[in-house]
Amino acid sequence: MSPISVVIPVFNESGNIGGLVREVTQHLRGVVPFDVLCVDDHSDDDTRTVLAALKEEVPELRVLLHHRRCGQSTAIRTGVKHALSPWIVTLDGDGQNDPADIPKLLAAREQAGAQTKLFAGWRVNRQDSTSKRWASRWANRIRQALLHDDTPDTGCGIKLFERAAFLELPYFDHMHRYLPALMQRAGWKTVSVPVSHRPRVSGTSKYNNLGRALVGIRDLRGVVWLIRRSHVTPVSELNHGRVP
């Protein structure tokens, strides 16, 4: 099985990141070759101290530090750019994604064709507040109506995708919420895989419903613009004077 790099963006998650990384190693050792990249987005709590101690405990762990806060999409892209493996798994640093679902994504990849480059988690039993679930439900409906990406849950942090395909996508802030549509725009197939979801154990969410909605409207308009102006053209090479 192809090795994977597990990329975890982290901001002020000192109470969650240690347990999450240990869970990742528990579920992947002996299953698939892997490394873990935690990208600290300039935390101002004890996250970096926790990560430094964790490096002594977990040989598969690498830690990358942003010198200023850049946001989740940039942290993910930093991890992907520095990854050593051809396939990437992403997890949110708050511990709400369950690393036990990673083998499920890997199994879906084994059953899919080479044209499928993204396997997106689908939270079928969300453990968030009622207002957050309601806001997410409406956001998903609006997104699907405009993008037609056939993806029930783009906000889920656990995903498996090909590194090379990801790095070819147009980069912008908050792009991680539109990966299925962007992958499809590039000509690739995507699959949604049902996964579990857990309540946050420590810390607070970095997003609120209003802020997420305002940013989402602006970004959604941009993604619609990209899709309408994209062209995926099959290419073949002329060999020995033969016209394809």
pLDDT of residue 210: 46
**For the segment 17-43, what is each residue's pLDDT rounded down to a tens digit?**
999 999 999 999 999 999 999 999 999
pLDDT of residue 215: 54
**For the segment 102-129, what is each residue's pLDDT rounded down to a tens digit?**
999 999 999 999 999 999 999 887 655 5
More confident residue, 147 or 42: 42
pLDDT tops 50 at residue 209: no
Q: Return the sign of the alpha-carbon dihedral for residues 218, 191, 102, 126.
A: positive
Mean pLDDT of 161-173: 95
The secondary structure element, H or E, covering residue 35 is strand 34-40
Q: Do 193 and 119 touch, CB atoms closer than 8 A? A: yes
pLDDT tops 90 at residue 59: yes
Backbone φ and ψ of 197, nearest 5°: -145, 140
- The CATH code for residues 4-228 is 3.90.550.10
pLDDT tops 80 at residue 64: yes
Mean pLDDT of 170-180: 90
pLDDT of residue 137: 66
Model confidence at 131, pLDDT cuts 50, 70, 90, reads: low
Q: Which of 94-103, 133-142, 173-182: highest mean pLDDT?
A: 94-103
Model confidence at 93, pLDDT cuts 50, 70, 90, reads: very high
